[in-house]
Each structure stands twice: as structure tokens, then as C-alpha cells.
A and B are shown apart, each in its own frame.
Chain A
């Protein structure tokens, strides 16, 4: 009798689990965004840069910190903000902060986000920073990145000090009123408190492998 109850309970649990899974929105991987103050994850994991070189986040980081941008080739929001990528990379380099862009769009590798496409994009846009493949969106999952572009800035101890958007106006660099990332980089390098530690913006969902 007891055995039968146990079996029934187990079967019911399995059924509930399968039902819950079946009705969970397709393509949705629930991700918890890294909390401020957290250590940068997967810093020793190798990622392939468009130059062909294998890089790690620990290797990219410089004396004052690390800037990670989840980006891609196929998102109009990336395109809209892209004119600010190189100025940000140059500012970061000047302030002793290493920058890397990671492409986590696993299910779009044959739809414009493949390694060859990335190489071409980096060349065309003259990227002044590494642009690497985030295979199987492992780093995006570890960071809890949900969209492109999605920015994570770490201090010299690789603790998260800013996350979110580049600024508050994707469409026009001239009409930006709040330069979130630029200000955070300047404040971090100056050893000051980061005035705005997180921000939100629209973006393209990351095309994750289920």
C-alpha cells in the first residue's frame, strides 16, 4: 500500500513537472542577473576572439577593471549604440580598464551571428576591442545577461560595480542626457563612488540554446 502511494506520488510529481516544462514559454531560459558586488564569473574560461586568439576575461582585465558587453550582429539596438563602442573602448583603455564584447546568440549562428559574420562585423566597424564567441551562451548564462547590448563593469577586484545600458538614448549619441557607462568608467578610474550603479534599456533578447 505504502509502495503504491509512493509510486503514485512520484508519477504525479513527474506529470506536474512535465506539464510545467511543456507550458513554460519557448526559448525562455530564466536568468538571474549578476548582483552588484558579485565577482566576475568564468574568468578563466577561454573564448575565441575574431582574431583567432583564445582569450579569458581574466586576461582581458587591466589594472583598474574589466568591461564586458554582450553584443551581436543581428540586433538593431546594437547597431543603434554601436557608434559608441569604440569611444567607450578607447576611454576604458585610457583608464586602465580592459573591454571585451561577447556574442551569445547560439541559435543564430547560421542567421548572421556566426564566427565568420562576427569577423566581418569587427572589420567593417573597425572594432578597437576583442569580439569573441560565447559558445552555448555559457558566459551570458553565468552573468545573467538577458539582451544585447547588456553591459557589465567590474572593478580591479573584478567585483561588479555597474550593469545595464550604455546610455539613455540608443537612437542618437548627440541627444544622450545620461551617459551611464562613460560616467561609471570615469568614476571607477578616479576611485569615486559609482553614482548610477544600474540602468535599464530595451534590447534584443539573447538567442539562447535551450
Chain B
């Protein structure tokens, strides 16, 4: 009986290590230049528009210096993995140094292209949303037709993200 428990524990640990390392390895395989690219407000708008008719989009403005951004980051990664066919997460870092963002993305196991804000704040904020004051973090979610489903400043919990994403996926 006890052997069975030990076996189950070992198996569970192995599965956990595999899942964890697999994500890490995938992230390591993405070259730096692909993992984070420069983007200005206009280009971001074009990128968001390019998903119209294909996928819902979640844009998240974050930075490593922003505590609430760091706290909610894993929720968004989880959502991207869960709804990979129907949702595209677009992370945009407002870090002062790209290396800081890159290091954090690797730690978090992000394995798709994310972006690094360039250009002046004002133009960028205006391009993203007239409801955004510039406070970080900021999230906006659009359905596949490009309609705004929700946007908010400050951090949110997983269920809030998921509720809005589900609404965007099944409008």
C-alpha cells in the first residue's frame, strides 16, 4: 500500500517536472528578437486589427517594475494556453529596459511573440484606449469582430479575466 503511494507521488512529481520544464524549454527556444519586438501605438493598432475575423484579442500593458502587473501575469499566460485556438494574448511591456522584460518573459515561460513599447506615452495611450489614464496594468479584450468586450486599469483575478475572455470568444 505504502509502495503504491510512493509510486503515485513519484509519478506526480515527474509529471509536474515535465510540464514545468517543457514550458521553460519552449520559452528558451524562442530567440530574443522573436520573443519581444518593438512596437508603437499605430503598429499595435494594426496588429490588433490583423486578428479580426480570426481570434479574440487580449491586450495587456505590463512592466516588471509594476507589482500588480507581475501578480496577474500568470493568469494571462494560463488563459492563452487554455484558449490557444480562439484567443491571442498581446503582451506589451512598458519597461525602461528591454532586457528586464525579456528576463521576466523567460522566467514565466512565455513562448509567443510579445512587444516592447516605443515612442511617446501620449500617442501610445491614445492609440490603445480613450478609457486608459496611463496607469499600469491595463487590459483590453476584443472579440473576433474587433468589438470591445471589456477594458480596465489595475490587476484582476483569473475568474475576471476568464469571464471576459469567454464572452469575447462566444459573443
Contact = CB atoms under 8 A, between A and B. Distances in A.
Interface in A159-178: 165, 168-171
Contacts of A42: none
A206 interface: yes
Given A25-B156, A26-B154, A200 B135 contact: no
Contacts of B136: 147, 202-205
Contacts of A200: 121-122, 125-126, 133-134
Contacts of A169: 120
Contacts of B15: none
B20 interface: no
A75 to B, nearest CB: 8
Contacts of B160: 23-26
B156 A147 contact: no
B155 A25 contact: yes
Contacts of A74: 67
A96 to B, nearest CB: 29
A27 interface: yes
Contacts of A204: 65-66, 135-136
Interface string B143-156: 00000000011111
Interface string A170-203: 1100000000000000000000000000011111
A79 to B, nearest CB: 9
Given A23-B160, A200-B121, A205-B136, A28 B153 contact: yes
Contacts of B156: 25-28
A201 B94 CA distance: 11
B159 to A, nearest CB: 7
A74 B70 CA distance: 15
Nearest to A19: B163
The residue among A26, A146, A147 with the most chain B CB atoms within 10 A of its own CB is A26
B78 to A, nearest CB: 16
B125 A146 contact: no
Interface of A: 22-28, 33, 74-76, 80, 111, 146-147, 165, 168-171, 199-207
14 contacts: A24-B160, A25-B155, A26-B157, A28-B154, A76-B96, A168-B122, A171-B96, A200-B122, A200-B125, A201-B134, A202-B121, A204-B135, A205-B68, A205-B135
Given A23-B163, A74-B67, A165-B121, 6 more contacts: A22-B159, A147-B136, A168-B122, A200-B133, A201-B122, A207-B68
